[in-house]
Amino acid sequence: MEKEFFHNGLHGKGAHVDTATVFDGLEWRTAGEKPGDCPHSIWELLNHMIYWQDFMLAYIKGETPKSPEHATESWPESGAPANNEEWDAAVSRFLAGLQDAKQEAAKDLMEKGAEGKGRTRAEWLMGITLHNTYHAGQAVMVRRMSGTWPPPSGGDTW
């Protein structure tokens, strides 16, 4: 049951959008736009998601990444990708992290990491799932505001 929960959460089954498809078909220039009064571009959201996904995966794997001193460290300096290659590389990195999380969800969920924080694999995966789905929802809203939602793969509009 728990393994299904994480698989479903990581891939948007049920009430959440599939985080693996949120960025599908989005043109790199559009990823850097902030329509209306949006505080963040999709590029910024994606990179913030990557930062924390990588951070939590490192803990799951027994590493001890340095915690940021301020929240701004988990956001990119640039509000937009420089080119299509940079955009594609970021999306690929995010998707690779999702795949890593899926593989971790197939392991012993009650195992505690070697990092000394006392958190189980399940707790770290819950953090990844909730953080990704929260910001994926924001990315969908920005896409809707820019007229680029749903993606070619489909998606709910309500």
Q: What is the DSSP code string of 81-119?
A: -SSHHHHHHHHHHHHHHHHHHHHHHTS-TTPBPTTSS--
pLDDT tens digits, 120-132: 999 999 999 999 9
What span, in angstroms and rounded, lies between the C-alpha atoms of 153 and 12? 13
Residue 8 lies in a domain: yes
For residue 118, what pLDDT band results from cuts at 50, 70 and 90? Answer: confident
Nearest by Cα to 88 from 133, 138, 128, 28: 28
Tell me which range, 64-68, 84-88, 150-154, is most confidently predicted by mean pLDDT.
Answer: 84-88
Residue 156 lies in a domain: no
Say what the pLDDT of residue 130 is.
92
Q: Is the pLDDT of residue 1 over 60?
A: no
Q: Is the pLDDT of residue 114 over 70?
A: no
Query: Range of 13's domain?
Result: 2-146
Q: What percent of the chain has pLDDT over 90?
A: 74
Residue 121 lies in a domain: yes
Stretch among 16-25, 33-42, 129-138 having the lowest mean pLDDT:
16-25
CATH code of residue 100: 1.20.120.450
Residues 63-88 have a mean pLDDT of 96
The total number of structural domains in the chain stands at 1
Residues 71-84 have a mean pLDDT of 97
Q: What is the mean pLDDT of the chain?
A: 90
